[in-house]
């Protein structure tokens, strides 16, 4: 297997990870046009101008049994044709012939230099990829890690599984390994959680409005 190897395209730069949390439902996506971004799963539907890289970790995101998943496979291929980069570490997809699908080794947990740590979520996997791209400042958007007040799990409506709050417990536990390895393997990198009402406590938090107000101020 010829594994795909990321290059240091963001060396010394900032990167944003677009999560799936419902807190992004009213987000102004234009804020990310000039940023380095990795989107989790259905964030690719924002287009490569907003979501430069798409990461997914589940086989069923792209396939329904042996068949390509309607409403996702063709759109993801078009996203790649339009300049978006599609990366996965799902072992079930080893040997696929799609040239637009970039395959990397999967490790169960933690951060790695020659693979992507799964850590029970696309969000954690995306953090590992941003690090391999050379990013030194990573911002997490939409990492709510819980359902909203209406029982909705995402800012979009492209769910495959029935919403279940229990899945977040596994994700939160696994992020502890990410935070641990960040200190030892990437000691000069900072990860900031820019998500209001987030259950993720492994990284420092900044209020969304404060973050963007300050950022806009620096651009003036």
Residue 154 is assigned to a structural domain of this protein: no
pTM of the model: 0.96
Could you give the 3-state DSSP secondary structure of residue 16?
A: strand
Residue 186 is assigned to a structural domain of this protein: yes
Residue 150 is assigned to a structural domain of this protein: no
Residue 88 is assigned to a structural domain of this protein: yes
Residue 152 is assigned to a structural domain of this protein: no
Residue 35 is assigned to a structural domain of this protein: yes
Instruction: Show the tokens assigned to 54.
Output: 């798409």
Residue 9 is assigned to a structural domain of this protein: no
Residue 193 is assigned to a structural domain of this protein: yes
Q: What is the pLDDT of residue 217?
A: 83
pLDDT per position as a tens digit, 106-132: 999 999 999 999 999 999 999 999 999
Q: What is the pLDDT of residue 28?
A: 97
User: Exposure string (b/e) for 166-205, b if CB count within 10 Å is 16 or more?
Assistant: eebeebbebbebbeebbeeebeebebebbbeebebebbeb
Please tell me the total count of domains within the chain. Answer: 1
Segments forming the whole domain that contains residue 190 = 14-145+159-219
């Amino acid at each position: 297997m010829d594994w795909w190897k990321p290059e240091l395209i963001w060396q010394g730069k900032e990167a944003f990870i677009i999560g799936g949390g419902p807190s992004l439902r009213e987000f102004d996506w234009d804020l990310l046009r000039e940023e380095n971004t990795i989107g989790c799963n259905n964030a690719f539907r924002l287009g490569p101008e907003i979501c430069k890289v798409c990461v997914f970790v589940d086989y069923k995101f792209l396939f329904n049994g042996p068949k390509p998943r309607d409403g996702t496979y063709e759109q993801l291929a078009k996203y790649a044709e339009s300049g978006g980069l599609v990366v996965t570490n799902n072992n079930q997809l080893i040997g696929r012939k799609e040239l637009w699908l970039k395959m990397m080794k999967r490790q169960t947990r933690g951060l790695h230099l020659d693979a992507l740590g799964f850590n029970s979520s696309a969000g954690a996997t995306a953090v590992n990829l941003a690090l391999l791209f050379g990013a030194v400042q990573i911002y997490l958007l939409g990492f709510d890690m819980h359902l909203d007040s209406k029982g909705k799990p995402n800012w979009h409506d492209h769910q495959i599984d029935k919403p279940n709050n229990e899945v977040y417990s596994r994700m939160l536990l696994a992020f502890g390994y990410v935070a641990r390895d960040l200190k030892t393997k990437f000691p000069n990198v900072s990860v900031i959680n820019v998500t209001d009402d987030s259950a993720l406590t492994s990284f420092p938090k900044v209020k969304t409005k404060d973050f963007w107000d300050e950022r806009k101020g620096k651009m003036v």
